[in-house]
Amino acid sequence: MHFAGLIIGFGGAVFLDLLIARYRRTTMTAELVEWVSRFVGLGLLLLWISGSGFLLLYQVSEPEKLMNPKSGPRLPSSASCRSTVFAIHRFVLPFLRRRTGTQLLAGLKPKTKAALIWCGVVSAVSWSVPVVLGAAPQLNFAVPCSVFWAPTLWRWLRLS
C-alpha cells in the first residue's frame, strides 16, 4: 500500500508537471489536470495511512527501526508533499481552470510564471526524496541523519 501510494502520487505529480510544461504555449483542458490531480491526492492519502501504520507497527514490534537515521527526513518530506499538494489544489488548479481554452502562460506576469514554476520544482523535490530514500536500503543505519537533514533545512531556510 505504501509503495502503491508513492508510485501513484509521484507518478501523478511528475505527469502533472510535464503536462503543464507541455501545454505552456498551447491550450489544455481542465478535465485532464483534474483527473491527474486526483491521483496525486490518492497517492498522498495512501502514503499517510500506510506511513502511520508503519510508525505504529515499528513502535510496537520493532522500535529499533525507528532509530534508523533515514527515518528522520521522511516526516518533513511527507509534510512538504502535503503542503505542495494543498498549494496545487488551492492555487494552481483554480488558475489552470481559469486558463482553459487559452495559452497557459501567455500574457502572465513574471511573478505568476515564477510561482507556477516554483510549485512544480518544490513538488518534484518533495516527491523525489521519499522515492530515493525508499529505493536505497543501503543507506539504512549507514549514513548519519545530518546528511539527510542538510538539504531539507537549507530548503526551509530559503523559503522563509
Q: Where are the domains of the chain?
A: 2-159
As a whole number of angstroms, the distance between CA 26 and CA 144 comes to 47
pLDDT given for residue 34 in this prediction: 75
CB 16 within 8 A of CB 37: yes
Q: Is 148 helix (H, G, I), strand (E, B) or coil?
A: helix
pLDDT digits (tens, 9 = 90+) for 68-121: 776 666 677 777 777 877 887 788 778 877 877 777 777 888 888 888 878 878
pTM of this prediction exceeds 0.85 = no
As a whole number of angstroms, the distance between CA 26 and CA 133 comes to 36
pLDDT given for residue 159 in this prediction: 57
Question: Can you list the alpha helix ranges (DSSP code H) found in 24-144?
Answer: 30-61, 74-87, 93-98, 110-135
* Nearest CA-CA partner of 126 in 70, 89, 73, 53: 73
Binning pLDDT at 50, 70 and 90, where does residue 145 land?
low
